[in-house]
Amino acid sequence: MPAPSKFTEAWLIDWTRKKLGDPTVCVELDELQIMQCIDDTMELFQKYQPRIYIQPYDAARGYHRIEQPNDITIGVVDVEFVRVDYSNYESIEGALLYDPFYFLSAGGISGIDVQTYDMIRHWTEIISREFGAEEGYMLLDDGRIFIQCPGWMKVNIHWTQTYTGLCDVRRPYYLLFQKLVLAKSRQILGHIRGKFAGVPGAGGTVQLDGEYQRDKGAMDEERLTDELMRTSLHYLPSMA
What pLDDT, on the 0 to 100 scale, is given for residue 82?
Answer: 83
Residues 98-117: b if buried by 16+ CB within 10 A, e if exposed: eebeebeeeeeeeeeeeeee
What pLDDT, on the 0 to 100 scale, is given for residue 229?
Answer: 92
Given a cut of 80, whether residue 134 has pLDDT beyond it is no
Residues 173-182, mean pLDDT to the nearest whole number: 95
Residues 179-204, mean pLDDT to the nearest whole number: 81
What pLDDT, on the 0 to 100 scale, is given for residue 94?
Answer: 42
Residues 105-116, mean pLDDT to the nearest whole number: 58
Higher pLDDT, 58 or 207: 58
Which pTM does this prediction carry? 0.67
Q: Which of 81, 233, 82, 228 has its CA nearest to residue 160? A: 233
What pLDDT, on the 0 to 100 scale, is given for residue 72?
Answer: 86
**Residue 155 to residues 41, 50, 57, 75, 78: CA-CA distances in angstroms?**
33, 20, 5, 16, 10
Which pLDDT tens digit goes with each residue over 31-42? Answer: 899 999 999 999
Domains of the chain, residue spans:
4-49+170-229, 52-161
